[in-house]
Copies of this chain bind each other. A is one copy, B any other.
Amino acid sequence: MLHARKRIEIVVEAVQAEAVTDLLDRLGAPGWTIQPVLSGKGRQGLRRGGDPGGVFDNVLILCIASEAVAQRVAEARDELLGARPAIVAISDCSVLRGEHF
């Protein structure tokens, strides 16, 4: 009834989001969801969204995909890291509809 899939979560600057979703599309991801980020702290220090230019705004891209797609995302490491993501995290999940993911 439930089907094992991978949950890929990428936090990246909003201006880089399309580069990441284009990559996910090319690697065969069935879809993705983009969520807003208010602020964050990481290797680049503190960053807050909402500044006038919006250039520091981050977003979170969530992608549920097969193990094979997740493997290709990991293998596309160099291209993915070119978008300078703050986070690329992959975890296990199950989905109701195996035919969709």
Residues of A within 8 A of B (CB): 1-2, 5, 7, 9, 11, 21, 25, 30-43, 58-60, 62, 64, 74-75, 77, 80-81, 86-97, 100
Contact = CB atoms under 8 A, between A and B. Distances in A.
Counting chain B CB atoms within 10 Å of each CB, which of A11, A33, A64, A97 scores highest? A33
Contacts of A31: 40-43, 86
A47 to B, nearest CB: 9
A96 B96 CA distance: 27
B96 A93 contact: no
A42 B30 contact: yes
Contact of A36 (B36, B43, B77, B90): B36
